[in-house]
């Protein structure tokens, strides 16, 4: 199996047709399979292959053109009970039936990517959350119907181990959902709320106060975010440091990436406070992690290393001057 882990997935499938020994070894030993290379008959391929690979833990079914249908996901749910990672991104044809089947068949899921699956409803997602309680990474980018406050409340209630959530361009998401999520999932590290235009400072305050391990926060185009949210983030560092001293946390904890592009209501002083609180946030070109494009009033905000560089430049002017 180690040899087959080094070849591409097409070769693995070919190898399963060599002889009985190889076939059995692959059918009962293969843990990871990607069919993203299949551009035409992915649905049929899933229907014929997946029942054989009973020990699959990772299944990647990304598509450029939508091919997967509910019967394929139903087959996955019925055959792959050990599945932990499933990528169904851009499966426009899938309906709620798929999520209901996954909820019943794949309860060990830790990573689920359903970005771009625009047909799913929030009820189906809430149902999935109530069964798949081990979820750590969930990508709902572009799932406009599925990602609502109702669904987020269910996720917050059941998926307490969640560490990463992408809600990009889910414009039905509001403060109620995000706040419940923050309270229910204290281990959240990555939250992407880009394009969630309805959220306000309350969501950011909830995340800042309730999620001490937060490392990355995307607030692109969240126009309702004001300085209050920024000061809350800056202040959360102080609170977390107090907790850290008790729990033995290190000084490198805290935000490492913050995207506040197009958040035009923010002022330089508030953003500078956040930047000063988190040494890992950088505005300097080499390590750009505080992203402020489109905020023309925030050009004066600089990270510590940029300030040091500026000071050094002014202290030792160029010999030509």
Q: Does residue number 47 form part of the binding site for other proteins (CB under 8 A)?
A: yes
Binds other proteins by CB under 8 A, chosen from 21, 248, 286, 319: 21
Binds other proteins by CB under 8 A, chosen from 52, 55, 134, 213: 52
Residue 49 or 141 having the CB closest to other proteins: 49
Residue 11 C-beta: closest distance to other proteins, Å: 5
Residue 35 C-beta: closest distance to other proteins, Å: 12
Residue 37 or 313 having the CB closest to other proteins: 37
Q: Does residue number 14 form part of the binding site for other proteins (CB under 8 A)?
A: yes
Binds other proteins by CB under 8 A, chosen from 41, 161, 293, 297: 41
Residues 55-74 interacting with other proteins (rule: CB under 8 A) = none
Residue 15 or 291 having the CB closest to other proteins: 15
Residue 24 C-beta: closest distance to other proteins, Å: 11
Q: Does residue number 78 form part of the binding site for other proteins (CB under 8 A)?
A: no
Count how many Cα atoms sit within 13 Å of the Cα of residue 135 in the half-sphere of its side chain.
Answer: 32
Q: Does residue number 44 form part of the binding site for other proteins (CB under 8 A)?
A: yes
Near other proteins by CB under 8 A, which window of 42-50, 114-122, 169-177, 270-278?
42-50
Distance CA 260, CA 230 (A): 10
Instruction: State CA 254 to chain mean position distance.
Output: 17
Near other proteins by CB under 8 A, which window of 44-52, 115-123, 236-244, 265-273?
44-52
Q: Does residue number 245 form part of the binding site for other proteins (CB under 8 A)?
A: no
Near other proteins by CB under 8 A, which window of 8-16, 82-90, 115-123, 304-312?
8-16
The site for other proteins (CB under 8 A) is made up of 2-4, 6-8, 11, 13-23, 40-41, 44-45, 47-49, 52
């Amino acid at each position: 199996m180690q040899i087959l882990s080094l070849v591409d997935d097409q070769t693995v499938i070919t190898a399963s047709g060599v002889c009985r020994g190889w076939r059995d070894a692959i059918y009962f030993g293969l843990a990871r399979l990607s069919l993203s290379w299949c551009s035409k008959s992915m649905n049929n391929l899933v229907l014929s292959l997946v029942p054989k690979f009973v020990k699959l833990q990772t299944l990647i079914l990304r598509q450029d053109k939508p091919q997967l249908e509910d019967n394929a996901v139903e087959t996955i749910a019925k055959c792959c009970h050990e599945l932990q990672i499933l990528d169904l991104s851009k499966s426009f044809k899938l309906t709620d039936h798929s999520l209901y089947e996954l909820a019943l068949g794949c309860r060990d899921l830790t990573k689920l990517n359903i970005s771009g699956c625009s047909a799913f409803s929030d009820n189906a997602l809430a149902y999935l959350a109530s069964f798949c309680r081990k979820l750590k990474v969930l990508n709902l980018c572009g799932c406009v119907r599925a990602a609502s406050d109702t669904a987020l409340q269910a996720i917050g209630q059941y998926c307490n181990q969640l560490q990463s959530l992408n809600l990009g361009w889910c414009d039905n998401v509001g403060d109620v959902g995000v706040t419940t999520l923050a309270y229910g999932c204290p281990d959240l590290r990555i939250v992407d709320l880009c394009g969630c235009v309805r959220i306000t400072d309350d969501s950011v305050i909830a995340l800042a106060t309730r999620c001490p391990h937060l490392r990355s926060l995307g607030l692109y185009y969240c126009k309702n975010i004001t300085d209050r949210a920024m000061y809350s983030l800056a202040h959360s560092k102080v609170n977390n440091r107090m907790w850290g001293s008790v729990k033995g946390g290190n000084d490198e904890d805290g935000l490492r990436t913050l995207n506040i592009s197009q958040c035009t209501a923010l002022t330089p002083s508030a953003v500078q406070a956040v930047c000063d609180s988190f040494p890992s946030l950088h505005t300097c070109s080499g390590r750009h992690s505080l992203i402020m494009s489109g905020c023309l009033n925030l050009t004066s905000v600089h990270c510590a290393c940029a300030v040091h560089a500026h000071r050094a430049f002014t202290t030792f002017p160029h010999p030509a001057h």
